[in-house]
Structures are given as C-alpha cells and as structure tokens.
Structure 1
Amino acid sequence: MFGLSDHLERLSANGDPLEVLAQVVDFEAFRTTLLAALAYSDGAKEQYDPVTMLKVLVLAA
C-alpha cells in the first residue's frame, strides 16, 4: 500500500534526477518563446501546455 510513496521518498533522498533538473533549469523562462513559435495561424488554442511538452522532449532526449 505504501510502496510507491516509500520508493519516491528514497529516490528523493538519493538525489532524484528529475528534481535536480527542475532546480537547475527554469523551464518557465521558455514559455514566451514557445508560445510565439507555436502561434497557430487559425487561432486554435494549443492542446498541451508548451512548457510541459518541452520537458517531455528534454527527458526523451
């Protein structure tokens, strides 16, 4: 029942690389540039948060 929370606590205590990345890189600083680059000419709203998608691409790389 508590396996996941225990695992996440141990991971965090040992230096979770995702937590370190979040501390080192200010992804929100890219929001303005991403919104300008992803401007849709038809006025459609983006389906996914561009900053979240940037994080996904960084992690995939």
Structure 2
Amino acid sequence: TMVELALRWLASQDHVDSVIIGASRPEHLEANLAAIDGRLDDATLEACDGVWQTLRGPHFRYNR
C-alpha cells in the first residue's frame, strides 16, 4: 500500500531516527506498525529518492 511504501521509505533514510505515525484507533496503530516492518528493494528506494528530490524544495539544516 502507499502507507507501507511511505513508512518503509522514511524508515530507510540514514538521517531519520524515528517516524511519527498517527492513529485515531488501535487498529490504525497496529496497521501502521505492521506496515513499517519490512524492507524496500533497491529499485523502489531509488525511485522514491528520485521523487523526493523533485518535491523537497529548499530546506534548512538544523544541526551544526
């Protein structure tokens, strides 16, 4: 699903320490936690990275 793709891609990023997920019901939380468990193949990661590069825009670095 798109949720699985998004959560797994976020979790695979080197600069991401945690992924904040929202849930309004326990079933949503369980589904989101299950969705993040897994790995995307290299081709999918590269495709997602490419999309991110076109969408991200300017950003500030908050670490020094």
In the superposition, the TM-score normalised over structure 1's length comes to 0.26
Higher helix share: 1
In the superposition, the TM-score normalised over structure 2's length comes to 0.25
Which structure has the bigger radius of gyration? 1
